[in-house]
Chain A
Protein backbone atom coordinates (compact mmCIF):
# COMPACT_ATOMS: atom_id res chain seq x y z
CA UNK A 1 0.00 0.00 0.00
CA UNK A 2 1.89 3.02 -1.29
CA UNK A 3 1.33 6.61 -2.35
CA UNK A 4 0.04 8.36 0.80
CA UNK A 5 -0.63 11.62 -1.06
CA UNK A 6 -2.91 9.87 -3.55
CA UNK A 7 -4.76 8.21 -0.70
CA UNK A 8 -5.34 11.48 1.12
CA UNK A 9 -6.46 13.31 -2.01
CA UNK A 10 -8.92 10.59 -2.96
CA UNK A 11 -10.16 10.16 0.61
CA UNK A 12 -10.79 13.86 1.18
CA UNK A 13 -12.52 14.31 -2.18
CA UNK A 14 -14.62 11.19 -1.52
CA UNK A 15 -15.73 12.48 1.88
CA UNK A 16 -16.46 15.95 0.48
CA UNK A 17 -18.48 14.44 -2.36
CA UNK A 18 -20.49 12.31 0.08
CA UNK A 19 -21.20 15.41 2.16
CA UNK A 20 -22.23 17.29 -0.97
CA UNK A 21 -24.60 14.47 -1.85
CA UNK A 22 -26.17 14.68 1.59
CA UNK A 23 -26.77 18.42 1.67
CA UNK A 24 -27.61 19.30 -1.94
CA UNK A 25 -31.31 19.88 -2.50
CA UNK A 26 -31.48 19.06 -6.19
CA UNK A 27 -31.49 15.28 -6.88
CA UNK A 28 -29.49 15.75 -10.07
CA UNK A 29 -26.62 17.46 -8.24
CA UNK A 30 -26.84 14.76 -5.57
CA UNK A 31 -26.36 12.17 -8.31
CA UNK A 32 -23.39 14.08 -9.75
CA UNK A 33 -21.76 14.28 -6.29
CA UNK A 34 -22.25 10.55 -5.89
CA UNK A 35 -20.58 9.95 -9.28
CA UNK A 36 -17.56 11.98 -8.10
CA UNK A 37 -17.51 9.88 -4.92
CA UNK A 38 -17.59 6.65 -6.94
CA UNK A 39 -14.68 7.78 -9.11
CA UNK A 40 -12.67 8.58 -5.99
CA UNK A 41 -13.41 5.15 -4.57
CA UNK A 42 -12.18 3.66 -7.85
CA UNK A 43 -8.95 5.64 -7.38
CA UNK A 44 -8.68 4.26 -3.84
CA UNK A 45 -8.94 0.74 -5.26
CA UNK A 46 -6.04 1.62 -7.57
CA UNK A 47 -3.93 2.71 -4.58
CA UNK A 48 -4.60 -0.75 -3.15
CA UNK A 49 -3.43 -2.47 -6.39
CA UNK A 50 -6.93 -3.79 -7.12
CA UNK A 51 -7.09 -2.88 -10.82
CA UNK A 52 -9.94 -5.17 -11.81
CA UNK A 53 -12.22 -3.91 -9.05
CA UNK A 54 -11.38 -0.30 -9.95
CA UNK A 55 -12.33 -0.83 -13.60
CA UNK A 56 -15.52 -2.65 -12.62
CA UNK A 57 -16.34 0.17 -10.19
CA UNK A 58 -16.17 2.76 -12.96
CA UNK A 59 -18.03 0.59 -15.46
CA UNK A 60 -20.82 -0.75 -13.27
CA UNK A 61 -21.34 1.99 -10.68
CA UNK A 62 -20.44 5.22 -12.44
CA UNK A 63 -21.46 3.86 -15.82
CA UNK A 64 -24.56 1.76 -15.38
CA UNK A 65 -26.12 2.40 -11.99
CA UNK A 66 -25.71 6.17 -11.97
CA UNK A 67 -27.02 6.47 -15.53
CA UNK A 68 -30.09 4.61 -14.28
CA UNK A 69 -30.45 7.03 -11.36
CA UNK A 70 -30.06 10.14 -13.50
CA UNK A 71 -32.44 8.68 -16.08
CA UNK A 72 -35.15 8.09 -13.47
CA UNK A 73 -34.65 11.57 -11.97
CA UNK A 74 -35.09 13.12 -15.40
CA UNK A 75 -38.01 10.81 -16.23
CA UNK A 76 -40.02 11.68 -13.14
CA UNK A 77 -39.68 15.43 -13.84
CA UNK A 78 -40.44 16.34 -10.25
CA UNK A 79 -42.54 19.47 -10.16
CA UNK A 80 -41.97 20.22 -6.51
CA UNK A 81 -38.87 18.79 -4.91
CA UNK A 82 -39.22 17.57 -1.37
CA UNK A 83 -36.78 19.82 0.46
CA UNK A 84 -34.59 18.93 3.38
CA UNK A 85 -36.31 18.08 6.58
CA UNK A 86 -35.44 20.59 9.27
CA UNK A 87 -32.34 19.06 10.76
CA UNK A 88 -32.87 17.85 14.28
CA UNK A 89 -29.46 18.63 15.81
CA UNK A 90 -30.16 16.64 18.95
CA UNK A 91 -30.84 13.49 16.97
CA UNK A 92 -27.78 14.09 14.80
CA UNK A 93 -25.56 14.64 17.85
CA UNK A 94 -26.99 11.55 19.53
CA UNK A 95 -26.28 9.52 16.40
CA UNK A 96 -22.71 10.80 16.14
CA UNK A 97 -21.89 10.26 19.81
CA UNK A 98 -23.48 6.80 19.76
CA UNK A 99 -21.55 5.73 16.69
CA UNK A 100 -18.32 7.08 18.16
CA UNK A 101 -18.81 5.21 21.43
CA UNK A 102 -19.75 2.02 19.58
CA UNK A 103 -16.70 2.18 17.34
CA UNK A 104 -14.43 2.83 20.33
CA UNK A 105 -15.90 -0.15 22.17
CA UNK A 106 -15.52 -2.35 19.09
CA UNK A 107 -11.94 -1.21 18.59
CA UNK A 108 -10.98 -1.89 22.20
CA UNK A 109 -12.66 -5.29 22.12
CA UNK A 110 -11.00 -6.22 18.84
CA UNK A 111 -7.56 -5.14 20.01
CA UNK A 112 -8.01 -7.00 23.31
CA UNK A 113 -9.02 -10.18 21.48
CA UNK A 114 -6.17 -9.71 18.97
CA UNK A 115 -8.50 -10.30 16.02
CA UNK A 116 -6.41 -8.67 13.29
CA UNK A 117 -4.18 -11.37 11.80
CA UNK A 118 -0.61 -10.90 10.65
CA UNK A 119 -0.16 -9.78 7.06
CA UNK A 120 1.26 -12.35 4.63
CA UNK A 121 4.36 -11.92 2.54
CA UNK A 122 4.52 -8.95 0.20
CA UNK A 123 4.75 -10.81 -3.10
CA UNK A 124 1.53 -12.67 -2.34
CA UNK A 125 -0.27 -9.34 -1.93
CA UNK A 126 1.35 -7.76 -4.98
CA UNK A 127 -0.27 -9.90 -7.70
CA UNK A 128 -3.46 -10.30 -5.70
CA UNK A 129 -5.55 -7.80 -7.67
CA UNK A 130 -4.46 -8.85 -11.14
CA UNK A 131 -7.19 -9.86 -13.55
CA UNK A 132 -5.67 -13.26 -14.39
CA UNK A 133 -5.37 -14.29 -10.75
CA UNK A 134 -8.88 -13.06 -9.99
CA UNK A 135 -10.38 -14.80 -13.03
CA UNK A 136 -8.68 -18.07 -12.18
CA UNK A 137 -10.29 -18.14 -8.76
CA UNK A 138 -13.65 -16.79 -9.94
CA UNK A 139 -14.19 -19.36 -12.66
CA UNK A 140 -12.99 -22.36 -10.68
CA UNK A 141 -13.66 -21.98 -6.97
CA UNK A 142 -16.55 -19.51 -7.30
CA UNK A 143 -18.15 -20.77 -10.53
CA UNK A 144 -21.40 -21.75 -8.84
CA UNK A 145 -22.02 -18.37 -7.12
CA UNK A 146 -21.25 -16.69 -10.45
CA UNK A 147 -24.08 -18.63 -12.11
CA UNK A 148 -26.41 -17.79 -9.22
CA UNK A 149 -25.58 -14.09 -9.63
CA UNK A 150 -26.52 -14.41 -13.31
CA UNK A 151 -29.91 -15.83 -12.36
CA UNK A 152 -30.36 -13.04 -9.79
CA UNK A 153 -29.65 -10.36 -12.39
CA UNK A 154 -32.12 -11.96 -14.81
CA UNK A 155 -34.78 -12.06 -12.09
CA UNK A 156 -34.09 -8.42 -11.17
CA UNK A 157 -34.36 -7.35 -14.82
CA UNK A 158 -37.69 -9.10 -15.33
CA UNK A 159 -38.95 -7.93 -11.95
CA UNK A 160 -38.12 -4.28 -12.51
CA UNK A 161 -39.74 -4.31 -15.96
CA UNK A 162 -42.90 -5.87 -14.52
CA UNK A 163 -43.02 -3.44 -11.58
CA UNK A 164 -42.45 -0.32 -13.67
CA UNK A 165 -44.82 -1.36 -16.44
CA UNK A 166 -48.02 0.62 -16.89
CA UNK A 167 -50.92 -1.55 -15.78
CA UNK A 168 -53.44 -2.27 -18.56
CA UNK A 169 -56.71 -0.89 -17.21
Chain B
Protein backbone atom coordinates (compact mmCIF):
# COMPACT_ATOMS: atom_id res chain seq x y z
CA UNK B 1 0.00 0.00 0.00
CA UNK B 2 1.45 3.27 -1.05
CA UNK B 3 0.96 6.57 0.75
CA UNK B 4 -0.16 9.06 -1.83
CA UNK B 5 -0.67 12.79 -1.81
CA UNK B 6 -4.31 12.39 -0.77
CA UNK B 7 -3.37 10.84 2.58
CA UNK B 8 -1.26 13.83 3.52
CA UNK B 9 -3.98 16.24 2.38
CA UNK B 10 -6.59 14.38 4.43
CA UNK B 11 -4.42 14.42 7.54
CA UNK B 12 -3.78 18.11 7.06
CA UNK B 13 -7.49 18.85 6.65
CA UNK B 14 -8.30 16.92 9.83
CA UNK B 15 -5.64 18.76 11.84
CA UNK B 16 -6.84 22.09 10.45
CA UNK B 17 -10.46 21.46 11.41
CA UNK B 18 -9.37 20.38 14.89
CA UNK B 19 -7.53 23.69 15.19
CA UNK B 20 -10.63 25.59 14.07
CA UNK B 21 -12.80 23.71 16.57
CA UNK B 22 -10.36 24.51 19.37
CA UNK B 23 -10.23 28.15 18.36
CA UNK B 24 -14.01 28.40 18.38
CA UNK B 25 -14.77 26.40 21.52
CA UNK B 26 -11.98 27.18 23.97
CA UNK B 27 -11.98 30.33 26.11
CA UNK B 28 -8.39 30.36 27.32
CA UNK B 29 -6.52 32.90 25.16
CA UNK B 30 -3.24 30.96 25.30
CA UNK B 31 -4.90 27.75 24.12
CA UNK B 32 -6.54 29.70 21.31
CA UNK B 33 -3.08 30.85 20.21
CA UNK B 34 -1.92 27.23 20.34
CA UNK B 35 -4.81 26.27 18.07
CA UNK B 36 -3.66 28.91 15.59
CA UNK B 37 -0.23 27.25 15.64
CA UNK B 38 -1.90 23.90 14.96
CA UNK B 39 -3.69 25.35 11.93
CA UNK B 40 -0.48 26.87 10.56
CA UNK B 41 1.19 23.49 11.00
CA UNK B 42 -1.46 21.65 9.04
CA UNK B 43 -1.09 24.14 6.20
CA UNK B 44 2.66 23.48 6.29
CA UNK B 45 1.99 19.76 5.83
CA UNK B 46 -0.04 20.55 2.72
CA UNK B 47 2.69 22.80 1.34
CA UNK B 48 5.46 20.24 1.86
CA UNK B 49 3.32 17.42 0.41
CA UNK B 50 2.59 19.40 -2.74
CA UNK B 51 6.19 20.55 -2.95
CA UNK B 52 7.48 16.97 -2.90
CA UNK B 53 4.72 15.77 -5.22
CA UNK B 54 5.46 18.40 -7.85
CA UNK B 55 9.23 18.40 -7.35
CA UNK B 56 9.17 22.17 -6.85
CA UNK B 57 11.25 23.53 -3.99
CA UNK B 58 9.31 26.81 -3.68
CA UNK B 59 6.73 25.18 -1.41
CA UNK B 60 9.34 24.36 1.21
CA UNK B 61 10.70 27.90 1.12
CA UNK B 62 7.17 29.12 1.72
CA UNK B 63 6.99 26.76 4.72
CA UNK B 64 10.15 28.41 6.05
CA UNK B 65 8.52 31.83 5.74
CA UNK B 66 5.29 30.59 7.35
CA UNK B 67 7.31 29.36 10.31
CA UNK B 68 8.99 32.75 10.70
CA UNK B 69 5.64 34.52 10.62
CA UNK B 70 4.25 31.99 13.12
CA UNK B 71 7.11 32.75 15.48
CA UNK B 72 6.50 36.49 15.18
CA UNK B 73 2.75 35.96 15.67
CA UNK B 74 3.29 33.84 18.78
CA UNK B 75 5.62 36.42 20.29
CA UNK B 76 3.26 39.35 19.70
CA UNK B 77 0.19 37.35 20.73
CA UNK B 78 1.73 36.24 24.00
CA UNK B 79 2.90 39.79 24.70
CA UNK B 80 -0.71 40.92 24.21
CA UNK B 81 -1.89 38.17 26.56
CA UNK B 82 0.59 39.35 29.21
CA UNK B 83 -0.51 42.98 28.79
CA UNK B 84 -4.20 42.07 29.06
CA UNK B 85 -3.58 39.82 32.06
CA UNK B 86 -1.80 42.70 33.78
CA UNK B 87 -4.85 44.94 33.38
CA UNK B 88 -7.78 42.54 33.74
CA UNK B 89 -6.23 39.64 35.74
CA UNK B 90 -7.85 37.14 33.38
CA UNK B 91 -7.19 35.51 30.03
CA UNK B 92 -10.73 34.30 29.57
CA UNK B 93 -11.72 35.74 26.20
CA UNK B 94 -15.38 36.02 27.16
CA UNK B 95 -14.42 38.39 29.98
CA UNK B 96 -12.15 40.61 27.89
CA UNK B 97 -14.28 43.38 26.41
CA UNK B 98 -11.91 46.33 26.04
CA UNK B 99 -13.58 47.52 22.83
CA UNK B 100 -17.10 47.38 24.21
CA UNK B 101 -17.39 50.93 25.55
Contact of A49 among B44, B52, B81 (CB under 8 A): B52
By beta carbon, the residue of chain B nearest A95 is B21
Contacts of A168 in B (CB 8 A): none
Contact of A82 among B45, B63, B92 (CB under 8 A): B92
Residue pair B13, A103 in contact (C-beta under 8 Å): yes
Residue pair B81, A72 in contact (C-beta under 8 Å): yes
Residue pair B3, A4 in contact (C-beta under 8 Å): yes
Count residues of chain B with CB under 8 A from any CB of chain A. Answer: 68
Given contacts A30-B34, A72-B81, A128-B57, contact A50 B26 (CB under 8 A): no
* Chain B contact residues: helix, strand, loop or mixed: helix
Contacts of A156 in B (CB 8 A): 71-73, 75-76
Contacts of A56 in B (CB 8 A): 64, 67
Residue pair A137, B61 in contact (C-beta under 8 Å): yes
Contacts of B91 in A (CB 8 A): 76, 78, 82
- A interface residues (Cβ-Cβ under 8 A, vs B): 1-4, 7, 11, 14-15, 18-19, 21-22, 27, 30-31, 34, 37-38, 41, 44-45, 47-50, 52-53, 56-57, 60-61, 64-65, 68-69, 72-73, 75-76, 78, 81-82, 84-85, 87, 92, 95-96, 99, 103, 116-117, 119-121, 124-125, 128-129, 133-134, 137-138, 142, 145, 149, 152-153, 155-157, 159-161, 163-164, 166
